[in-house]
Chain A
Amino acid sequence: MNDTAARTTGRDRPPRTAHAFRRRLGAVLAVLPSAVALLFVMGPGAGADSTAGGDVHVAQTLGDRELTVILRRVTGVPGPLHVDVITHAGTAAGRLTLGVTPTGVSTSASAASASGTTVDTAVVTLGGRPGTFSAVLDVTRAGPWELSLGDEQRTATIPFVVPKRTTSPAETAVYMGFGGAGALVLVTVLVAVRVRRFWWTLVPAGGLVACLTVAVTGALLSSRLPPPPSQGGQVDATIDGVGDPYADAGQQIGDYSRPPATLLLRSSTDRAGEVAELRLTLSDASTGLPVDDVVVHDGALLHLLVVGPSGQLRHLHPVRTGAGVFEVPLSLPEEGHYAVSAEFARRGGGVQQLRSATGVDAVPGSGAAARTTSDDAPPQAGTGTRTVAGVDVRLTASSLVAGRAAVLTARVGETATLQPWLGMLGHLIVVGPVSPTAAAGTATQGAQVWAHSHSMGAVPDGTHDMSGMEGMSHMKGMEEHSSASSSSLDMDSSASSAFSSPDLHSMSGLTSVNGDSTADETVAAYGPDISFVYTFPATGHYRVWIQAERDNTILTVPYLLHVTGASERTS
């Protein structure tokens, strides 16, 4: 429009002297480079997209299968949702039925008309060998959704949000300001070379300055304005809220946390030798209402830790079967007490760890499978080598003094072929202090400490000064790590791009470059050393389990550690 106006105005213009033309052009050309320079300086800095979601990794213990379900990022709607189901060693072959259901509400009746109805389904046929099995489902709009995942017995539902690419108001101002400035640069040039009196040029030039001011202000503000609350993560997601999170932001309050929850545990059976169907009901500690706002945390909706009578640890991921209801089968191989603890996070922030007040008491069953005593020898106190599933695991510890940070380093196997499980290279579960001779289930039920720590590899991040530590062998670990990762099998494309940088390796094993996707279990390129830093709060014996994934098998390695008091007095 501007150009057209300028052109028609200039059409009936008589010719002018070359001198005046050159002078005006020179003045304009002096302004141009600075404007262009500003464009380049300000442009890239203003592109932070706060609502860009990444892949969602959700571990699901569906029946006797331990699965990792990955919902790949949806890049446009309507469009495909790629779902990968990763199986592990021993996962039974079979069919899973997948479905997607939009769930949100909207002020627009047409936008919400499909809510609650399953709009697409797919079947995933799991093979007998560990691998990735994929399906593609069509999602029709941005907003809250549920993915259902069913075997023959039960159906799990995983809430997720299909994001919409949105632009913050400040970014909009930047784009519009620079867009307007760009157009006005052309107008200014045209006016300058066509009009007789130079001051006419000031009119578009003034507009140009105004546009640049708006753009620069927007660029400066865009990094300072708080992002709107995360739909689904901090506040309840709605179709309208996902569509325009800035309009839905309301007053920025900062604290979106919700009350703690209570855990009710019900077991379908208490007979040893049977498989108990555990039903966990989460209710709000303030209102008693079902807690239906559990968000994915550490790669699962709910992490369940069960310690059996003779010290066997089970780390399960119950599936969501209703509002605040999670279900998982738990085999009770022996009689005695099973202590149960759940970890999860509610919308609005804050991870909770709840120990079931009752646990499960297994009485002698009629089945021949029931054992009254464990075949497993009670673990000897101390670090050392254990062999689990044919893999040698060697644990070393810097020092085990209460109140002092202990560095526990496990070498799992001899090759750098560990796979991240639940987004971490290693898991450390600590329960104690307990009597080393008492039955583990009963002792852990009453233990004061239940802790869950993670390892991101052997190489510490830069925030810790590790110079004084022994037994860490950083350099060796790094070299092995890098060489192995370049030749690792089964890398998926997103992970390989994220892990091709050697700098990244040296910093941390599992940070993605762009925040979009982290390596999944198909990347067997880490370890073999995994380190944990944990400060035991009190003296005594602790039951400790280290978990890591190797050869598509999740290894659980038990230890019994003795933590002493400080040998010297500290001020």
Chain B
Amino acid sequence: MSRPTSPSGRRSLVAAVVLSAILLTALSVRALWAPWRGTSPPVSGDTPRGAATLTGGTAHDVVTLTVSTPVTGTTAVNVRLVPRDGAAAGRSSPVVTVSAVLPTAGHAVPDFTTAPAADNRYHVAGLPLMMPGRWEFVVTVEGDGRHDRLVFPLTIPR
């Protein structure tokens, strides 16, 4: 019954079909499993491995919050302010405080007044996160004509 055909053409056909089937199946399975995979916070250049970096803003500043170890325990927190009106030459630096709240549990940590560093960076050495959950990191910027309060929601997964 069989007649001579082109084996290379047939092989490429089979390969293409099998590949596309595998690809489609794999993609679908991946999509289905997405919600059950843990999401890890992305790592940006100059931050420690595993740190969570969130950017928000007020009318005065772009505020970047970096939580060094976003898991339960004590973590260092860094805040960077980038004034929207350009370089703050000759301006006194504002008082920046950082706190954290777990609203569903009604937990709050004390206000930590940051230590200012160069380049509009502010640092807290040890902020305690008691339990996992959807935390809110609250950054307040006061002084120098500012009275801003900014909330950074961040999930502490474990």
A residues neighboring B (CB under 8 Å): 1-2, 5-6, 8-10, 12-14, 103-109, 111-118, 169-170, 172-173, 176-177, 179-180, 183-184, 187, 191, 195-197, 200, 203-204, 206-208, 210-211, 214-215, 217-218, 221, 225, 228, 235-238, 241, 246-250, 255-259, 284-287, 289, 292-293, 323, 347-348
Is the beta-carbon distance between B10 and A200 smaller than 8 angstroms? yes
Enumerate chain A residues within 8 angstroms of B72, measured Cβ to Cβ: none
Is the beta-carbon distance between B25 and A5 smaller than 8 angstroms? no
Most chain A beta carbons < 10 A, residue from B9, B24, B28, B29:
B28
Is the beta-carbon distance between A287 and B101 smaller than 8 angstroms? yes
Is the beta-carbon distance between A108 and B18 smaller than 8 angstroms? no
Is the beta-carbon distance between B55 and A109 smaller than 8 angstroms? yes
Which single member of A8, A197, A249, A258 contacts B103 (CB below 8 Å)?
A: A258
Enumerate chain B residues within 8 angstroms of A197, measured Cβ to Cβ: 2
Is the beta-carbon distance between A107 and B39 smaller than 8 angstroms? no
CB distance from A55 to the nearest CB of B (A): 25
Enumerate chain B residues within 8 angstroms of A347, measured Cβ to Cβ: 103
A contact patch SS: loop
Is the beta-carbon distance between B20 and A256 smaller than 8 angstroms? no
Is the beta-carbon distance between B55 and A108 smaller than 8 angstroms? yes
Contact with A along B1-23 (1 / 0, CB 8 A): 11101100110111011101100
Enumerate chain B residues within 8 angstroms of A257, measured Cβ to Cβ: 104
Instruction: Decide yes or no whether B118 CB sits under 8 A from chain A.
Output: no
Enumerate chain B residues within 8 angstroms of A114, measured Cβ to Cβ: 57
Enumerate chain B residues within 8 angstroms of A292, measured Cβ to Cβ: 151
Instruction: Decide yes or no whether B152 CB sits under 8 A from chain A.
Output: yes
Minimal Cβ-Cβ distance residue in B for A210: B25
Is the beta-carbon distance between A211 and B27 smaller than 8 angstroms? no
Instruction: Decide yes or no whether B134 CB sits under 8 A from chain A.
Output: yes
Additional A-B contacts beyond A204-B17, A258-B104 (14; CB < 8 A): A8-B12, A9-B12, A12-B9, A13-B5, A107-B53, A112-B62, A113-B57, A115-B62, A116-B150, A173-B31, A197-B2, A206-B21, A207-B17, A293-B103
Is the beta-carbon distance between A203 and B104 smaller than 8 angstroms? no
Is the beta-carbon distance between A116 and B58 smaller than 8 angstroms? yes
Which single member of B33, B101, B151 contacts A169 (CB below 8 Å)?
A: B33
CA distance A197 to B101 in the complex (A): 68
Is the beta-carbon distance between A173 and B17 smaller than 8 angstroms? no
- Count how many chain B residues have C-beta atoms less than 8 Å from C-beta atoms of the other chain: 59
Count contacts between A and B, CB distance < 8 Å: 201
Is the beta-carbon distance between B17 and A187 smaller than 8 angstroms? yes
Is the beta-carbon distance between B55 and A5 smaller than 8 angstroms? no
Is the beta-carbon distance between B56 and A170 smaller than 8 angstroms? no
Enumerate chain B residues within 8 angstroms of A287, measured Cβ to Cβ: 101, 106-108
Enumerate chain B residues within 8 angstroms of A221, measured Cβ to Cβ: 32
B residues neighboring A (CB under 8 Å): 1-3, 5-6, 9-10, 12-14, 16-18, 20-21, 24-25, 27-29, 31-35, 39, 41-42, 52-62, 64-65, 84, 101, 103-108, 134, 136, 138, 149-153, 155, 157
CB distance from A451 to the nearest CB of B (A): 28
CA distance A69 to B103 in the complex (A): 29
Enumerate chain A residues within 8 angstroms of B24, measured Cβ to Cβ: 176-177, 179-180, 207, 210-211, 214
Enumerate chain A residues within 8 angstroms of B32, measured Cβ to Cβ: 169-170, 172-173, 214, 217-218, 221
Is the beta-carbon distance between B13 and A169 smaller than 8 angstroms? no
From known contacts A169-B34, A247-B39, infer whether A176 and B6 are also in contact, taking CB-CB under 8 Å: no
CA distance A104 to B56 in the complex (A): 6
From known contacts A105-B56, A117-B57, A259-B106, infer whether A289 and B101 are also in contact, taking CB-CB under 8 Å: yes
Minimal Cβ-Cβ distance residue in A for B157: A250
Which single member of A1, A103, A208 contacts B16 (CB below 8 Å)?
A: A1
CB distance from B55 to the nearest CB of A (A): 4
Is the beta-carbon distance between A112 and B56 smaller than 8 angstroms? yes
Enumerate chain B residues within 8 angstroms of A12, measured Cβ to Cβ: 6, 9
Minimal Cβ-Cβ distance residue in A for B32: A173
Minimal Cβ-Cβ distance residue in A for B59: A116
CA distance A6 to B2 in the complex (A): 19
Minimal Cβ-Cβ distance residue in A for B33: A169
Is the beta-carbon distance between B28 and A176 smaller than 8 angstroms? yes
CA distance A482 to B17 in the complex (A): 59
Is the beta-carbon distance between A8 and B9 smaller than 8 angstroms? yes
CB distance from B60 to the nearest CB of A (A): 8
Which single member of B18, B56, B136 contacts A116 (CB below 8 Å)?
A: B56
Enumerate chain A residues within 8 angstroms of B103, measured Cβ to Cβ: 236, 258-259, 284, 293, 347-348
CA distance A115 to B56 in the complex (A): 6
Is the beta-carbon distance between B17 and A109 smaller than 8 angstroms? no
Is the beta-carbon distance between B134 and A235 smaller than 8 angstroms? yes
CB distance from B155 to the nearest CB of A (A): 5
Which single member of A5, A106, A109 contacts B13 (CB below 8 Å)?
A: A5
Minimal Cβ-Cβ distance residue in A for B31: A172
